[in-house]
Amino acid sequence: MPRNRSIILLAVGHACVDVYQGAVASLVPFFVAERAYSYAAVSGIVLAASLLSSVVQPVFGALTDRWAMPWLLPAGTILGGVGIALSGLSGSYAMTLAFVAVSGIGVAAYHPESARVARLASEGSHSAMGWFSLGGTLGFATAPLLVTAVVATGGLRLSPLLVVPALAGSVLCLPVLRALRKTADAASGKAVVPATDDVASFVRLSLAVVCRSVVFVGLSTFISLYIEQRPGGSRTAGTAALFVLYCGGAVGSVLGGSLADRWDRVTVARWSYLVSIPAVAGIVFVPGPAVFVCVALTSAGLYVPFSLQVTLGQDYLPTRVGTAGGITLGLTVSIGGLASPLIGTVADATSLRTALTPLILMPALSWLLFRTLPEPGAPSPTASPTATARQTAEARSEPGGTPDGEPAGEVGLDPQVVAEDRSDL
């Protein structure tokens, strides 16, 4: 299957899954209106979906490092959709919480393996990975429109219709998985050089992603209110600012991959964070309509590195790409989101401007962390990361391995090992 077609199918499938990440918050007003849930109750529902999904993602990543599980793409998609679809049918808070948690687990199961599959299908193209990331961004942004179109017309009883994107996404990924299985079978006899994990660089990368998450989630939560409260502001202006923040993210996702195909990923991410520093400062301090320019620059600057950070994490941990994807896509994002309550507390005690001012430091910290990161060599796109991990472990147990546990030289990969590893593709 041509690379572009594979990436388009995976990107659309990614959108179908991430619809359910945005759907939970979009259902909140309907839960309050129809079931009289308190703000604390609906906050618990949102937390059950987002936090559980983000924390569980590294677990699925570790599992996919041990065994190839491409079936998680359709299964996770279906699970994510079914959970949201059923959440509107039961008036029981406990059941609603359980169904939303099931959806979060489905989303968590999908992402680490989909990041690995997309990396294989992209054949090392950073722009292709940018398009894959764009799919998720558009899916999240589309969720409010989809939920409103379905639920506003007939109430929560129509929530089963929300399973339609999941059905579509689960079907779209199947041709890609079949094509990759054929490619893996054809390449099963090739030699692979066991890779070495750069844990120190991965930790610094993860910290940079946390800083990015703090500023983006903080702005996503409060920028609409902040623009509305400024002199000359209005509810329309606040909504427009949030819209620009999300639209800039869509542009940044694609732009980051294209720039990384010309320059290396670390350089592109470093310059993006550098541009984000004055842009975030502009959001906080620049008066008048010029603030929308700052919002657009901030959004693009924070999203340009997004897909690049995923592939960098995979290259820093080449024997544990599932774990790398689970952490960069999930855990670090949830940790960054925990800062929002702190921002709200400071805003209640002082003002929103005072609470948002420390966010200027976040892209600066990401920039400093990226200054210490090397540009890793990308692994062969046809090589099996799981098979490479297995071979590295086997080489370390051989007498010819070096004292520090690394193999002394190139080792030929047993075709049966790769065939076993890729039997699910």
At 251-292, the pLDDT tens digits run 887 788 788 878 888 999 999 999 999 999 999 998 888 889
What pLDDT, in 10s, does the model give residues 372-411? 999 886 544 444 444 444 444 444 334 444 333 333 333 3
CA distances from 334 to 52, 127, 339, 391 (A): 9, 26, 9, 33
Question: What is the mean pLDDT of the segment spanning 303-332?
Answer: 82
**Same domain membership, residue 111 and residue 139:** yes
Q: What token pair was written down for 425?
A: 């593709």
What is the chain's mean pLDDT, rounded? 78
Strand partners, 192: 411
**Same domain membership, residue 38 and residue 169:** yes
Q: Is residue 376 part of a domain?
A: no
Confidence of residue 163 (pLDDT cuts 50, 70, 90): very high
Domain that holds residue 404: 385-421
Question: Which has the closest alpha carbon to 258: 97, 104, 120, 125?
Answer: 125
Q: Is residue 379 part of a domain?
A: no
**Same domain membership, residue 117 and residue 225:** no
Q: Which of 306-320, 325-339, 383-397 has the highest mean pLDDT?
A: 306-320
- Give CA–CA dist 243/378, Å, rounded: 35
Q: Is residue 146 part of a domain?
A: yes
Helix or strand (DSSP H, E) at 155:
none
**Same domain membership, residue 395 and residue 351:** no
Q: Is residue 390 part of a domain?
A: yes
Give the count of domains, the chain: 3
**Same domain membership, residue 121 and residue 213:** no
Q: What token pair was written down for 45?
A: 């529902």
Q: Which of 131-145, 172-186, 357-371 has the highest mean pLDDT?
A: 357-371
Question: What is the mean pLDDT of the segment spanning 339-348?
Answer: 80
What value does the CA radius of gyration of the chain take, rounded to a whole number of Å? Answer: 22
Question: What is the mean pLDDT of the segment spanning 357-381?
Answer: 84
Question: What is the mean pLDDT of the segment spanning 349-367?
Answer: 91
**Same domain membership, residue 19 and residue 124:** yes
**Same domain membership, residue 161 and residue 54:** yes
Confidence of residue 135 (pLDDT cuts 50, 70, 90): confident
Domain CATH for 343 = 1.20.1250.20
Q: Which pLDDT score is estimated for 183?
A: 67
Q: Is residue 406 part of a domain?
A: yes
Which of residues 186, 217, 242 is at a domain's end? 186
Lowest model confidence (mean pLDDT) among 10-14, 96-100, 195-199, 205-209? 195-199
**Same domain membership, residue 319 and residue 171:** no
Distance of CA 264 to the CA centre of its chain: 21
**Same domain membership, residue 114 and residue 89:** yes
Q: Which pLDDT score is estimated for 237?
A: 82
Q: Which pLDDT score is estimated for 391?
A: 44
Does residue 412 have a pLDDT over 60?
no
What pLDDT, in 10s, does the model give residues 37-90? 776 677 677 777 777 777 787 788 788 778 778 888 899 999 999 999 998 887
Which is more confident, 208 or 392?
Answer: 208
> Quick count: other Cβ atoms within 10 Å of Cβ 158?
16
Which of residues 120, 155, 186 is at a domain's end? 186
Q: Is residue 375 part of a domain?
A: no
Which of residues 163, 186, 209 is at a domain's end? 186
- Give CA–CA dist 23/150, Å, rounded: 11
**Same domain membership, residue 238 and residue 97:** no
CA distances from 414 to 13, 65, 186, 421 (A): 33, 18, 14, 11
- Give CA–CA dist 98/77, Å, rounded: 17
Q: Is residue 48 part of a domain?
A: yes
Question: Do residues 98 and 83 make contact, with C-beta atoms less than 8 angstroms apart?
Answer: no
Q: Is residue 277 part of a domain?
A: yes
Judging by beta carbons within 10 Å of its beta carbon (0-12, 13-18, 19+), is residue 330 exposed, middle or buried? buried
Question: Do residues 22 and 242 make contact, with C-beta atoms less than 8 angstroms apart?
Answer: no
**Same domain membership, residue 69 and residue 28:** yes
Confidence of residue 184 (pLDDT cuts 50, 70, 90): low
Distance of CA 94 to the CA centre of its chain: 28
> Quick count: other Cβ atoms within 10 Å of Cβ 292?
19
**Same domain membership, residue 364 and residue 245:** yes
Helix or strand or coil: residue 160?
helix
